[in-house]
Amino acid sequence: MTWGQLVRSALEAIQWNRLRSLLTVLGIVIGIAAVMVTVGLGEGAQAKVSSKIAALGSNLLTVAPGSTSAGPGVRRGLGSASTLTMADAAALSSRVVAPAVAAVAPLTSQHETLTNGAIDWPTTVDGTTPSWLGIRSRSVEIGRFINAQDEASSADVVVLGALTAQELFSTSNPIGRVVDVGPLPMTVIGVLTPVGSGTSVTSNQDDLAIVPISTAQGSLMGISANDSVQSILLRATSSSTLSAAYQEADHELMMLHGVTNPANADFTITAEQSLFSAATSISATLTALLAGIATVSLLVGGIGVMNIMLVSVTERTREIGLRKALGAKPSDIRRQFLVEASVLGVCGGLIGAALGLLGQLLLPSLISNPVIIPPIVTVAAIAVALMISLLFGVYPAARAAQLSPIDALRSE
């Protein structure tokens, strides 16, 4: 018998036993769909976390005042808590001092109420430099961001987060309008592109106001010539230079602050990357767990195929006997059952894959989580379905082939 004939007669047998075939396939279908959706959920969660982290700014380091190794008896920072200055930020910007640092943005942050006529809106007001935009991987939707000139002249200008702008100005265009930031009237020069709510990873990134850091330090805080900053954001040239950037910044700041013993450092550098890798590893663990469960369900599906193929062999003993009486060799019978099992497997795989892809389309709207199924997973799922049915089809097929023709024919 040729393979074409085998497949043809397998299709006939499957069609003839529609219900039984359907039940056989069901286990595989559920297994495959489960594996695909599971992997898709895991990948989706990972992608979601990645994009959230990326929205925070990639390759980011944050320098904050104060020591991490603040055990009892260890002296905390020198002087006030605010030990970082504009001079520190300027030093770190130097290509020579810190070649692995691509961009630096000093940051001061305070809570102020913004007022537009009768509308009050309390928010976070960040004083920073133009490089903040790039470091935070943000963009301006309308208008412009603060520039070096605003910075130099301590201009009374403000850039609003999308939500802040909406709260204060509703749908009307805020550009050029004046808003009171605390006691100070400032001109709105731009609105940031919204990034969506960041509730799970960070506070709402669309609710904030940005002013030049010189403005913040000067008129806003009411203390002139105060050049202290609350934190300094650093971006490494790439994720691979993150630790180099860390060391360069660490070394330079220790020198500037006259600290010789690292344990006495009056500042702390943290990498957002660590948050990223923690989040990634959590979702990877989750994916592995779910994939494990799905694999078990695939195995159950495979045993289902074996079970039904065995029933099929018993049920069709007479047919096997007759085929042998007419000249079928053991290998012919073995192939017949193997081909039947694998046709069932491929059908189950295809239907399961279709269901999985359907899940990819429908699930996100139900669970508000992305489901990303890489094409390779679809292909692999179908291959696995085929392999499982082949594997679990071998035993029933071998049993069928070994039946003696007369015993088989005589059975009722």
Partner 1 sequence: MEVVLAESDPTSAQDLLVLKDIGKRYQLGHLFVEALRGVSFTVVANDYVAITGPSGSGKSTLMHLIGCLDVPTSGDLTIAGELVRDLDQAELAEIRNRRIGFVFQQFNLLRTMTAQRNVELPLLYAGVPRKERRDRAAALLERVGLGRHMNHHPMELSGGQQQRVAIARALVNEPSIILADEPTGNLDSQSAEEVLGIFEELNQLGRTLVVITHDATVAARASRALHIRDGQLQEVS
Residues in contact with partner 1 by the rule CB under 8 A:
1, 5, 12-13, 16, 318-319, 322-332, 404-406, 409
Burial of 62 (0-12, 13-18, 19+ CB in 10 A): middle
Cβ proximity to partner 1: between 134 and 405 the closer is 405
Beta carbon of residue 331, minimum distance to partner 1 (angstroms, whole number): 7
Angle between helices 330-367 and 272-315 (to 10 degrees): 140
Beta carbon of residue 344, minimum distance to partner 1 (angstroms, whole number): 16
Cβ proximity to partner 1: between 257 and 399 the closer is 399
Cβ proximity to partner 1: between 149 and 331 the closer is 331
C-alpha–C-alpha distance, residues 207 and 205, integer Å: 6
Q: Where are the beta strands (DSSP E) in 240-312?
A: 267-271
Cβ proximity to partner 1: between 14 and 188 the closer is 14
Beta carbon of residue 327, minimum distance to partner 1 (angstroms, whole number): 2
CA 270 to chain centre: 21
Beta carbon of residue 393, minimum distance to partner 1 (angstroms, whole number): 19
Place of tokens 């799922």: 381
**Phi/psi at 390 (5° precision):** -65, -50
Beta carbon of residue 293, minimum distance to partner 1 (angstroms, whole number): 38
Beta carbon of residue 339, minimum distance to partner 1 (angstroms, whole number): 14
Cβ proximity to partner 1: between 235 and 324 the closer is 324
- The candidate with the shortest Cα–Cα distance to 41, out of 371, 381, 305, 399, is 371
Q: Going by DSSP bridges, is the β-strand pair 157-160/184-192 parallel, antiparallel, or unpaired?
A: parallel
Measure the N-to-C terminal CA separation of the chain; round to a whole number of Å. Answer: 27
Beta carbon of residue 320, minimum distance to partner 1 (angstroms, whole number): 11
Q: Going by DSSP bridges, is the β-strand pair 178-181/101-116 parallel, antiparallel, or unpaired?
A: antiparallel
Beta carbon of residue 307, minimum distance to partner 1 (angstroms, whole number): 22
C-alpha–C-alpha distance, residues 287 and 5, integer Å: 42
Cβ proximity to partner 1: between 322 and 398 the closer is 322
DSSP assigned state of 217: I
- Secondary structure (3-state) at 28: helix
C-alpha–C-alpha distance, residues 274 and 253, integer Å: 21
Cβ proximity to partner 1: between 377 and 403 the closer is 403
C-alpha–C-alpha distance, residues 304 and 348, integer Å: 12
Name residues whose C-beta falls within 8 Å of residue 21's C-beta, 6 or more positions apart in sequence: 14, 15, 344, 347
Beta carbon of residue 373, minimum distance to partner 1 (angstroms, whole number): 38
Cβ proximity to partner 1: between 76 and 318 the closer is 318
- The candidate with the shortest Cα–Cα distance to 382, out of 359, 337, 350, is 350
Cβ proximity to partner 1: between 13 and 104 the closer is 13
C-alpha–C-alpha distance, residues 157 and 220, integer Å: 12
In the numeric block, which tokens belong to residue 130? 């133009």
